[in-house]
Structure 1
Amino acid sequence: MGWARLRELQEAAIAPLLEGEDALLLAGTASGKTEAAVFPLLSKMASQQWAGLSVLYVCPLKALLNNLEPRLASYFSWLGRRAAVWHGDVPVSARRSILRDRPDLLLTTPESIESMLVSVNVDHSLLFADLQAVVVDEVHAFAGDDRGWHLLAVLERISHLVGRPLQRIGLSATVGNPEELLAWLQGAEANRRPGRVIAPHLDFPTSAPLQSTDPLSAPPPGEIELDYVGSLQNAATVIASLHQGEKRLVFCESRQEVEELGQLLRLKGITTFLSHASLALDERRRSEQAFAEARNCVIVSTSTLELGIDVGDLDRVIQIGAPRSVASFLQRLGRTGRRPGATRNCLFLAPDRPSLLRAAGLLLLWGRGWIEPVVAPPEPRHIVAQQILALCLQERQIGDHVWHEWWNGLDPFTRSADVILRYLVEQGYLQRDGDMLFIGPEAELRFGHRHFMSMTAVFTAPPEFTVLAGRTELGRIDPSLLTEQIQGPRRLLLGGRSWQVTYVDWKRRRCFVEPVDGGGKARWTGMGLAGHSFELSRAMREVVLGAEPPVSLTRRAVDQLAELRQQHLPAAHPGGTMVTRLTSGDVYWWTWAGFRTNATLTSTLAGLTDPMQEPTDLYLRLRRDLNPAEWKVGIADAADRLCLPDVDEKALSGLKFNTALPQRLALATLATRLADLPGALAVLKEPSRFVITH
């Protein structure tokens, strides 16, 4: 391979992985984490004569699996071994080949593992009989949402199936709580199996500053720049005029923004490619391949290119607005500076004032070396319901008294979930024959379509229409674009190009189009909870109070931050929170505490707060007739009676398998996930000032 030596992470991983320890490997992007995990496993495969499918390699994105497969197949071929990939886009013929002749390594997703376990066409006992180890790439991307619970659950079921624990190896570049993440990855075996965090040059406890030797710590300020451009149109002008001849990766925070910016850049004559989840697979592959081979060009992407997909050597990363987290920014920053002599860099272009303040707050946290801890969503009761149903599909029937043993004691997949099991039986999702449980008619009705394929994924996806130009699939759009009232022809924006709708097949959810010169619109409906964290919101307050992020600021950014400070300074105080009554009579409590904290406070202080409001990141509305004396009495004991936020029943549509839970438990799950009790407690312990502003 032309390597003079292994990298430090790769050297450090050899001994513990050969000894069979679980591990979390932490290092910057493009630091050889895949090789650090796989090379010791290959050595064990040879020395211990592993046969059959012995290693699973799990990724959060199908594109990342496709990107890794040629490299890993090459490594395995050195020993006369084979690697293969299995996910939703892999043809049936290739899957049948895998089942006939099992590879030594299988690259896959949690959803595909679930489909193998429940499929009547897969002998899962034979397929996984020789499994020894699991590598989880970008492990932080799993742990922070319900896909992580799903991944842990299916790994426990496989472990129970084969009758032994599996060696678990996680790979990550950015995480603020590595020890906790390792324990999470170990699942039921945490505290029972040896495990260690392997992170040369990285030594940071939960959400604490990174050490100065960390490759992702702050580069020189000149390499990170914050600019204010005022609009997406102006952002396109800046991108088109800067860095001519270089390869630029531009990150946006929504698919709509990707489409609009892509079109603007093409109109300026810039060679532009697009990548986001609603583009057709072939379209994304063409864009990513063309971008990897080109030089003077731009690719505009959502977070789909944030993870370790190889798009070749990059010269520049440009961020429109602000990413959702410091960890996300570090992933994006790590896409640059990979060539010898190159440095990491990122140019922030804020299209409006709120995004400028968010970016400044995020860069302030980054400059201090702070990274968000990765925390699994609490109380995944809907995943418990899904797993019980999936187990009954897998085994065809399961004993009433032994079902919980399949998860080896992993909480919450224990007898504590008996209330969920009883509900599944009562509502007909399960049927009982003596002590045996099996799939019932309600589960068949709700989830049985296409051989229970909807049971294999734990995330919801809004209904979308497939867009076709002739026989070529372009991608998917939000159906509201096809139903809204418009004047004139209906035009869409997809792949950075405008298309005119010629026919809509409502029954099959297909939309046929032909190219036009302009006028297209893009829109997708988001399903996640909005809002900033407590820490980011507090960092934004610090910026208002005068703190400067350790980056280069353009004159435009400096001027706009000065105006933002003048605007918000009456509502910001370093020693506590501010209650302001405007001359209009509206009363605002400026907590600077984040969406989840403010939602918790709105519920806890019911009677003082406006019940009709939608909480924001920075403030919440109080009663218009509230006076300082009432306020003081009302919050006196609030810290002792914190309440979970109220949840609208309509929000249950975003919680997959919610119908398989008693409604009170489904609502309680959402309320717990919406709450930030520590943040609310911190705010209530602070002094608050009641002022009248003009």
Structure 2
Amino acid sequence: MIELLSEPIRRYIRDKRWEELRAIQKHAIKHIMESEKNVILSSRTASGKTEAAFLPMLSKIDFNKPGVKILYISPLIALINDQFNRVEELCEYLDLPVTKWHGEAKKSAKENLLKNPDGVVLITPESIEAMLVNKEQNAIKLFSSLQFVVIDEIHSFIGTDRGMQLASLLSRLSSFHTSKFRVIGLSATIGAIAETKKLTGDAEGTTLLRDKAPKEMEVSFRYFKMEGAELPIELMKDLYLEVKDNKVLIFPNSRGRAEEVSVKLKKISDRLKGHSYYFSHHSSIDRELREYIEQFAKNNKRYPFSISCTSTLELGIDIGSVEKVVQIDAAHSISSLIQRVGRSGRREGEKSSLIFYATDQWNLLQSLACLLLFRDEFIEPVLASEKPYDILLHQMLSIIKQTNGRTPQQLKKHIKENYAFEHIQEAEMDDVIQTLVEKEQLELIGGELIVGVEGEWTVNNKDFYSVFRSDPSFKIIHHDKTIGELPLMSAFQIDENILLAARIWKILEIDYKAKKIFVIPAKDGKKPMFFGTGGEVHPKIREKMLDVLSCQQEYQELNEEAAEALRLLRLDFKCYPITEIATQRPLVAKHAETIFYSFQGTKINKSIDFLLRLQGITADYNDHESSFNFKANPAEVKAMLKKLKASTEHIDSALISMLESNPAVMEFSKWGTLLPLQYQLIILKLKIYDFTHTEIFLSTCEFVEAQDGSKD
């Protein structure tokens, strides 16, 4: 396939002394060079996807055309900064400039690009939005002759508000484009092929190239029961022995837990006179410190290190060779697990190494279920909304600001031509426009829509360009240096200790007006506060958990304590013979209580909980265990649950009442609160609940009670 490439690119390959191209690179070269289709490249982490895209793109671009040739879109500024040198080195062989365009990029580089539009631009969706809204002429000058658009980590956009925004932005860019640009998507995990293809704007004209070559992986499970709020010291000691001589990424499930791990590992290391390279890495840590950690990990060849992180290091930022990945308690999705596992064993011939630590039986069970589904090549399917009214509303405001006003018909024409909103009807557009006018976000003057009084505040806010909600946060400051930021918490108090940047800090002063917290290193041993949130679990994971519970298969990856924890959990369900995993569910009688284990996904569980409350039925809902605890006997519980199906007929009016009485319910959607009430209802039912599958589940569910007559 090398012969298809241009001479400068062949010279790059020779200079790199590559013995041969990787599989995904060979296929990508053939399809990009010999067709005009969009291409999605899916292969494991560190398989050379970036080169697979750029080698043929750079060989095929027409240098006679003016303007930027390739637009690289990334979900993260950090990923742009990381990829910049890699892309720049390749483009030097063609004397092609590479420019970073985001809020933290150099102004001089942007000005040079505007004077001489050319080469490759690396950008985020939010920066595209800002350019279109504020300086449409710049977007036209730079991007009207684009030949390729690369979407890195494309899976992170699918099924999200940000993905719908990106689809709309691509459609808007194409509207002033002199010729059709091709889209190249890159990902290590794609579970929604159809939705991924739709993002390109031409699903039929998009080819998926997937390299399914298996990667050898060593997996082990450890179990340390957690009694309080903090991780067991035995777990930390075991973890220290596992990481002290290696380069390791540790993934807890929250920023607070990541801080706890890094602080405690460093304390153990200090006590045993080990190395000091224990870091935490997440969105609350100051950017400069995060970048220092990334560069240390990437360039350090000599010392072992451990980085306790969240999803900030789940995506493709290059931090060099990592020998082990540790997952503390269950990942919320198989997609995340695949990304995390792929961070280790990146060198050719190396195995990936994954260690699970579980702190309770249910986390152990969920971790095991995720691993088994991962081996079965299951990735959560994602269904994007066909009617993203909240993103429609945002894009309407954006278009009006971009164009300095449009008639309602002109605005609707814009929307109809935008493939992101192809399923939205004109009457629905009218409803949204009317509500925007009523709420003074838009104003209708002389038959033309312009930005309204309230809209001026909205569209001129720097937060307007994003469609995801950012929690209010406080800057954490020590000696005039910003350490990072923490989400606004009413529990912040002077003299409290907090964890941040792998250290414990004591709060000296809180400036609520300036949103600043002044701290000093804590030395009093007082327990610090924790922060972080959970995630949504897919029904297939919970179903697999039930499958594992119901069988007697042994798993060699479990150590003795983990195997015993699983055995004991299986004993609790032994007298509940489950033979049909899809429909049968245990109903456990305990004294005056009955526990219903739904083994369903988070959305269905939330739907059941809502329906129960709607009927005035009290049940303690625990999504972690996928259970509902009733103060009733099994017969009464069965009657209650069967009765729920009928209540779904009145669900819309109940949800409308909830939205009217408590508008804060919609705060999960940044722009949803501005929508007409009936459209808020649709978004709420799609993103938070799943009453359709809940009704099916309740209709088919068979309750299984203890068969031997005993009660737990």
Where do residues 153-302 of structure 1 align in structure 2 (5 Å cutoff)? 153-162=168-177, 164-178=179-193, 180-187=194-201, 189-191=202-204, 194-200=205-211, 202=212, 214-216=213-215, 219=216, 223-231=218-226, 232=231, 233-242=233-242, 244-269=244-269, 270=275, 271-294=277-300, 295-302=303-310
Question: Residue 172 of structure 2: SS of its match in structure 1?
Answer: helix
Match of 1:508 among 497, 506, 514: 514
| d(CA) in 1 for partners of 2:47, 2:382 | 21
Where do residues 557-596 of structure 1 align in structure 2 (5 Å cutoff)? 557-569=562-574, 573-575=578-580, 576-584=584-592, 586-596=593-603
Tell me the alpha carbon deviations over residues 32-74 of structure 1, each in whole angstroms, 9 at most, x when there is no partner. Answer: 11111112211122x4533321211111111111100001011
Distance 1:544 1:49, change over 3 A: same
Contact 1:54 1:133 in 2 (8 A): yes
Distance 1:673 1:453, change over 3 A: same
Distance 1:532 1:629, change over 3 A: closer
| d(CA) in 1 for partners of 2:553, 2:404 | 61
Distance 1:626 1:62, change over 3 A: same
Contact 1:602 1:615 in 2 (8 A): no
Tell me the alpha carbon deviations over residues 650-683 of structure 1, each in whole angstroms, 9 at most, x when there is no partner. Answer: 3212210233212342233112222333365145
Distance 1:636 1:440, change over 3 A: closer
The one-letter code matched in structure 2 to 1:7 is R
- Are 1:314 and 2:326 counterparts? no
| Deviation at residue 277 of structure 1 after TM alignment | 0.7
Question: Residue 587 of structure 1: SS of its match in structure 2?
Answer: strand
The one-letter code matched in structure 2 to 1:238 is D
Distance 1:405 1:235, change over 3 A: farther
Tell me the alpha carbon deviations over residues 628-655 of structure 1, each in whole angstroms, 9 at most, x when there is no partner. Answer: 6972994597599595795664321221
Question: Residue 135 of structure 1: SS of its match in structure 2?
Answer: strand
Contact 1:168 1:185 in 2 (8 A): no
Tell me the alpha carbon deviations over residues 194-217 of structure 1, each in whole angstroms, 9 at most, x when there is no partner. Answer: 2211124x3xxxxxxxxxxx324x
- Are 1:477 and 2:493 counterparts? no
Among the aligned pairs, what percent are the same residue? 27
TM-score when normalising by structure 1: 0.89
Match of 1:12 among 14, 27, 34: 27
| Deviation at residue 687 of structure 1 after TM alignment | 2.2
- Are 1:519 and 2:526 counterparts? yes
- Are 1:328 and 2:336 counterparts? yes
| Deviation at residue 690 of structure 1 after TM alignment | 5.4
Where do residues 427-506 of structure 1 align in structure 2 (5 Å cutoff)? 427-445=439-457, 447-448=458-459, 451-480=460-489, 483-484=492-493, 489-506=495-512
| Deviation at residue 689 of structure 1 after TM alignment | 3.5
Question: Residue 332 of structure 1: SS of its match in structure 2?
Answer: helix
TM-score when normalising by structure 2: 0.87
Q: Give the structure 1 partner of residue 70 of structure 2.
A: 55
Distance 1:592 1:482, change over 3 A: closer
Distance 1:633 1:372, change over 3 A: closer
Coordinate RMSD, CA, aligned? 2.8
Q: Give the structure 2 partner of residue 662 of structure 1.
A: 676
Q: Give the structure 2 partner of residue 100 of structure 1.
A: 115
Question: Residue 253 of structure 2: SS of its match in structure 1?
Answer: coil
| d(CA) in 2 for partners of 1:613, 1:77 | 62
Distance 1:292 1:113, change over 3 A: same
Contact 2:66 2:118 in 1 (8 A): no
| d(CA) in 2 for partners of 1:91, 1:633 | 60
| d(CA) in 2 for partners of 1:352, 1:639 | 35
| d(CA) in 2 for partners of 1:615, 1:241 | 34
Q: Give the structure 1 partner of residue 560 of structure 2.
A: 555
Contact 1:59 1:138 in 2 (8 A): yes
Match of 1:653 among 640, 649, 667: 667
Contact 2:612 2:618 in 1 (8 A): no
Tell me the alpha carbon deviations over residues 471-493 of structure 1, each in whole angstroms, 9 at most, x when there is no partner. Answer: 32100123326645x7xx23222
Match of 1:117 among 122, 126, 132: 132
Q: 5+ unaligned residues in a row in structure 1: which ranges?
A: 203-213
The one-letter code matched in structure 2 to 1:16 is H
| Deviation at residue 241 of structure 1 after TM alignment | 1.2
Question: Residue 126 of structure 2: SS of its match in structure 1?
Answer: helix
The one-letter code matched in structure 2 to 1:513 is V
Distance 1:32 1:607, change over 3 A: closer
| d(CA) in 1 for partners of 2:603, 2:260 | 30
| d(CA) in 1 for partners of 2:133, 2:154 | 24
The one-letter code matched in structure 2 to 1:142 is F
Contact 1:225 1:552 in 2 (8 A): yes
The one-letter code matched in structure 1 to 2:372 is L
| d(CA) in 2 for partners of 1:114, 1:411 | 15
| d(CA) in 1 for partners of 2:152, 2:257 | 28
- Are 1:21 and 2:30 counterparts? no
Q: Give the structure 1 partner of residue 99 of structure 2.
A: 84
Contact 1:132 1:166 in 2 (8 A): yes
| Deviation at residue 553 of structure 1 after TM alignment | 0.9
Contact 1:275 1:300 in 2 (8 A): yes
- Are 1:365 and 2:356 counterparts? no
| d(CA) in 2 for partners of 1:522, 1:81 | 50
Contact 1:140 1:172 in 2 (8 A): yes
Contact 2:44 2:188 in 1 (8 A): yes
The one-letter code matched in structure 2 to 1:258 is A
- Are 1:389 and 2:389 counterparts? no
Match of 1:532 among 529, 533, 537: 537
Q: How many corresponding residue pairs?
A: 664
Distance 1:478 1:440, change over 3 A: same
